[in-house]
Amino acid sequence: MVGSERRLVRDIAKQRITLLFKLGEEEVRRGRVDLARRYGELIYRIAAKANVKIPKLIKRRICRKCKVILIPGLTMRVRIQSEGSRGSRVVVTCLKCGWIRRYYIKTGKTKG
Ligand SMILES: [Zn+2]
């Protein structure tokens, strides 16, 4: 049946997403942010078409609003505020469109 075929399409899509993300990172480092943004848009488009989820690590590195690939110091600013035992608060700002995202990182239970 078509099940295996669909799975193959998804595998290819995931590989493409990873590749496009790497290429996008390269473009940001070269200062070609507009190109990097196009890669970000493509990643979202491929994911939607193949019905795959964008890996968390990659998703966090693409601006939700303008789709630029986010690299600390280049296209994004990262601020980490420690909240003691509760963990750390991370504030990510896209330097291209000003989009702000906040999330928590929980610190492990291990003490000392
Ligand atoms: Zn943005």
Q: What is the pLDDT of residue 111?
A: 52
Sort 99 into a burial class: Cβ within 10 Å, 0-12 / 13-18 / 19+: middle
Helix, strand, or coil (residue 24): helix
Would you say residue 37 lies in a domain? yes
Decide if pLDDT at 112 tops 60.
no
58 closest CA partner among 30, 91, 50, 46: 46
Q: CA 61 to CA 71: how far, in whole Å?
A: 7
Select from 42, 90, 40, 33 the least CA-distant residue to 63. 40
Round to whole Å and give the CA distance between 7 and 21: 21
Assessment of whether the complete model's pTM goes beyond 0.75: yes
- In the reported structure, the alpha carbon of residue 37 is separated from the centroid of ligand 1 by a whole-number distance in angstroms of 9
- Judge whether 99 lies within some domain: yes
Model pLDDT for residues 30-74, shown as the tens digit of each residue: 999 999 999 999 999 999 999 999 999 999 999 999 999 999 999
Distance 62 CA to ligand 1 centre (A): 8
CATH of the domain at 19: 1.20.5.420
- Over residues 73-89, the mean pLDDT reads 92
How many C-beta atoms surround the C-beta of residue 54 within 10 A?
A: 19
Flag whether 48 is in a domain.
yes
- The reply to whether 16 falls in a domain is yes
pLDDT band at residue 105 using 50, 70 and 90 as cut-offs: confident
Has residue 18 been placed in a domain?
yes
CA of 73 to the centre of ligand 1 (A): 14
What's the total number of domains in the chain?
1
Residue 85 resides in a domain: yes
pLDDT for 15-31, tens place per residue?
999 999 999 999 999 99
Domain holding 96, by residue range, is 3-105
Tokens (6 digits) for 32: 């070609």
Whether 112 maps to a domain, the answer reads no
pLDDT score for 2: 66
